[in-house]
Structures are given as C-alpha cells and as structure tokens.
C-alpha cells in the first residue's frame, strides 16, 4: 500500500506492508515532536489496526535521521498556559490514553528508536513489544529540567529498573546511548542504523504464512528477525561500570538532599576518572533542575513501583496539572526554550527550602475520583 497522510495531515504517515502497519511521525524539522493533532491521529490509527484482522503488527518510526520523537510540543503548551487556555489538559489526557493503548495493545508494536527519543517519545516507545535502538539513539526523561515530572507512564516503565537506576534517570535526566538503554532494560536490542534502514525489504521477503496472529510464536520470531536480529551496534557503554555507584548514590532510602550531598562529597575524593566525571556531571544536573520537581519526582517514581499502570497515568496527570498551574513549568520553558538564558527562577530556589507539605500537595489530585480526566482509562482508550 502506498504511504499516505492521515486525515489530511502530513505529520503522520501510514501504510501497510505485508500485513504490518508502518506509522511514521513526520515532523523531522521539529524532531518529530508530538502535537495534539498527531496524538489524536495516532489514536485513530491504533483503533484501526486493532480492529483490522489483516494487520498483524504496528511499527512506530520517526522521519529523518535525527529523532524518533523528541517529546511533546512544549512550546504550544507553554503558550496555552500563559494565556490560561486549559486545553493543554486535554493534550496530556489524550497523550496518556495513547500511551496506555500501546502498553495494552493486543498486537505486537515495534518502536524504532533511531535518534533522539525523549519525553513523549519514551511514552510511545516504552509500551512497545519490541524496542529497537541504534548507535544514534539518545534516550532520556529530562522533564525536571523544565519544571515538570517524568510522565507519559515513566513512573510505571522506570519501575522495571532497579530503584537506584530509575531515580538516577528521573532526577538527573541523563541521556542513554543505544547500548546503555539495552543494558538498563529501556530497549530490547541495539542494531546499526544502516541495518535497520533495510527493514522493509526484509519484511516484504517474509512469507505471509509467518505473519499470522493465529500462530503468535512464529509471528514474534519473524518480526524479531526483521527488526531486531541484525548485528549489534558497537558504541561505548559505560553504564554497567557505573551501576554500583548509581545504586549507591540514588538508593531509594535517600532523600534528594542526601543524594546531592553524597554526589558532592564523592566527587572531591574519587580517583577513577570515569566515575569522577559521572559524579560531577550528575551533581551539576541535579543542581540545575527544579528543586521542587526533584522532590516530587522522587516520590512519584517510588510510588509508581507499587501502582498499576492506570493509576500511574492518573497520578502523573495530577502532578502535571499542579506543575503547569502552580509550579515551575512556565518559568522552566521560558528559561530553557524561549529566552534560552538557562537561568530559571525556580520556586523555591534550593532543595533545602522545599516544604514537604507542598510536595504532598503536588502529588494530590485536583479532581475528585469520578471527575478525573483519566478515571476510565482502563476501559476507554484509543
């Protein structure tokens, strides 16, 4: 089937190749960042693919060679927040429903994480059955940098990691390479981008009899052969060497202030150059992020380890609502993305000034249980 735009939009392209739907996020100049229209279109595509017996799997990919998806359209959300336009709430609610649908989709979803995969891109990717990274992959959840909390299901998908690694990624916003993502469990395989570029030819050459939902084991093996069974990409992977330090400094028993202090103390005496560099970069990252959001993020990630998927999405929407209307989001976007002075005036300005009652407030819901925008997410999603 020829590739076509969906609903007149050129931002999402769709076609079916040998019973496999190929969905392309097509905003390469914006690093395939998600607009609200794209989210709605993707939801409609998932419904179509779910109900079409001739579609046995869905592939999510990004146009261009720089990004799978760099996140949500933060500038648009910023403008809505400034004008007191609450339509931004629907953006997040629809995005979370889309992510939930991928996590629970009845057919295999394959996410091709070639290039930048951050924020909303991670939301699309982490619910996929097969997550394929390359040597160009850059995975991260950097929300605390702009006064938000890692969302799009992060409190759920990071719960699959050791607690220390989950807190490290959420609090620091650290960027992982393809091999590092595999080592931590945020990607399943890492293949060369050149090999991945030839997946359509391999898909066309796959016998139709091997792409049958009635024989799931054969279907899964065939899809893995097409997308994930290539040579492994070879790039440096420092995470395994750093994992003991990550788990020690970001132990779940430590408060954020304790984490920052332990990083600062250790960097002064560390002799190993790799660990010393990591300690300094990580300390600096936390020092530049929103103090309030660091406290809220820690609590959100730890709570997510004990919560079902739907509850994680509801709580994340609660926190995002607080961040935009009462917190540091507007100031963070202004400083990082609009004026680019990189001097956000966080409220409060330091970790020591963060009131734990305010942290609990940010984790509370502004909606009653029955009126929550995601009250029915387990029953009603794309």
The active-site residue, picked from 62, 71, 72, 123, is 72
234 is catalytic: no
The active-site residue, picked from 73, 99, 151, 316, is 151
143 is catalytic: yes
The active-site residue, picked from 73, 95, 114, 143, is 143
d(CA 301, CA 276): 26
- SS3 label, residue 16: strand
- How do strand 130-133 and strand 109-113 relate by DSSP bridges? parallel
Name every residue whose Cβ is closer than 8 Å to that of residue 322 and which is 6 or more positions away in sequence.
361, 362, 366
Nearest partner of 134 among 68, 225, 224, judged by Cα: 68
Strand partners, 72: 34
258 is catalytic: no
Cis, peptide link before residue 348, omega less than 30° from 0: yes
d(CA 248, CA 220): 38
121 is catalytic: no
Taken in order 248, 170, 98, 110, the sign of the CA dihedral is negative
d(CA 382, CA 377): 9
The active-site residue, picked from 71, 120, 310, 332, is 120
**What percent of the chain is helix, strand and coil (3-state, nearest 5)?**
50, 10, 35
Supply the residues annotated as catalytic.
Answer: 72, 120, 143, 151
């Amino acid at each position: 089937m020829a590739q076509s735009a969906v609903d007149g939009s050129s931002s999402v392209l769709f076609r079916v190749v040998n019973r496999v739907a190929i969905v392309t996020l097509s905003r390469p100049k914006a690093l395939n960042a998600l607009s609200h229209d794209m989210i709605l279109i993707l939801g409609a595509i998932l419904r179509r693919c779910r109900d079409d017996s001739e579609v046995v799997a869905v592939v999510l990919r990004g146009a261009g060679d720089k990004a799978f998806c760099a996140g949500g359209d933060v500038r648009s959300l910023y403008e809505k927040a400034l004008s007191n336009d609450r339509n931004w709430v629907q953006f997040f609610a629809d995005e979370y429903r889309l992510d939930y649908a991928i996590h629970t989709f009845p057919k295999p979803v394959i996410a091709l994480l070639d290039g930048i995969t951050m924020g909303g891109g991670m939301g699309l990717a982490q619910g996929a059955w097969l997550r394929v990274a390359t040597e160009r992959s850059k995975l991260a959840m950097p929300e605390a940098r702009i006064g938000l909390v890692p969302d799009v299901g992060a409190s759920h998908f990071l719960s699959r990691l050791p607690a220390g690694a989950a807190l490290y990624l959420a609090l620091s916003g650290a960027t992982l390479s393809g091999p590092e993502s595999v080592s931590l469990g945020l990607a399943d395989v890492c293949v060369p981008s050149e090999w991945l570029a030839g997946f359509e030819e391999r898909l066309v050459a796959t016998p139709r009899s091997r792409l049958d939902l009635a024989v799931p084991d054969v279907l899964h093996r065939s899809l893995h052969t097409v997308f994930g069974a290539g040579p492994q990409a070879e790039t440096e992977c420092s995470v395994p060497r750093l994992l003991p330090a990550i788990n020690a400094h970001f132990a779940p028993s430590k408060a954020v202030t304790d984490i920052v202090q332990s990083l600062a103390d250790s960097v002064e005496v560390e002799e190993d150059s790799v660990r010393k560099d990591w300690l300094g970069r990580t300390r600096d990252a936390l020092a530049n992020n929103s103090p309030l959001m660091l406290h809220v993020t820690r609590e959100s990630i730890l709570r997510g380890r004990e919560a079902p998927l739907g509850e994680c999405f509801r709580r994340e929407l609660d926190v995002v609502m607080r961040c935009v209307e009462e917190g540091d989001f507007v100031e963070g976007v202004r400083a990082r993305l609009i004026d680019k002075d990189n001097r956000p005036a966080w409220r409060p300005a330091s970790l020591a000034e963060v009131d734990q009652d305010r942290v609990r407030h940010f984790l509370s819901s502004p909606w009653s249980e029955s009126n929550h925008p995601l009250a029915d997410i387990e029953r009603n999603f794309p």
